[in-house]
Amino acid sequence: MQPWQNFVDWTSYLSSRLHAKRNEIRRAAIVGTDGCVWARSEGANEFRPTESEMKSFVRHFTNLINVPANGADLEGVHYALTVNSGVIRGIGEEVDFFAMTNHSVIFIIFCNQSTYQDAMDTLAAFDNDFQ
C-alpha cells in the first residue's frame, strides 16, 4: 500500500499545495477515478462541477485518443480539449484547466491562460507527491 492511500486530509494537502501558487491557480481539485471529488479549493474559488460532469470527465482518461474530439463540460462551461503526454488541457474563453491522473486519483487545476508553466509545475508536484 502506498503512503498516500492512508492520507485522510485531502483538503489540507490541496490547500497547502495551492498556497504558493495562489496568484496563478484559480481552482483545483483531487478527484477519484469514479468521479467523486475528494478535495477542492474552497471559498470564492471553490471547484463546483456537477456529479454528471465529473463522471463524464473521468472517462476521458480511459481513452485519451478520443479526448480532443469530444471536449468536456465542467462547472457549466464547455472546453475544447488537447492532450499532451497524458495531460488533458481544457481551453476556455477566460480560464484553462489541466488534468492528469496517476491511475488512482485525478488532479485538476484551473488557471489563467498565461500560466501554462505554473500549471505544469503544480501538476508535476502533485504527481511527485503520489509516487
CA dihedral angle for residue 27, residue 94, residue 68, residue 63, rounded to 10 degrees:
10
Average pLDDT over all residues of the chain: 81
Q: Is residue 30 in a domain? A: yes
Q: What is the CATH number of the domain that holds 97?
A: 3.30.450.30
Is the model more confident about 103 or about 60?
A: 60
Q: Is residue 1 in a domain? A: no
CA gap 96, 35 in Å, rounded: 20
* pLDDT (average), residues 95-102: 89
- pLDDT at 107 > cutoff 80: yes
Is the model more confident about 50 or about 119?
A: 50
For residue 91, the enclosing domain spans 9-129
What is the model's pLDDT at position 3? 43
What is the model's pLDDT at position 99? 93
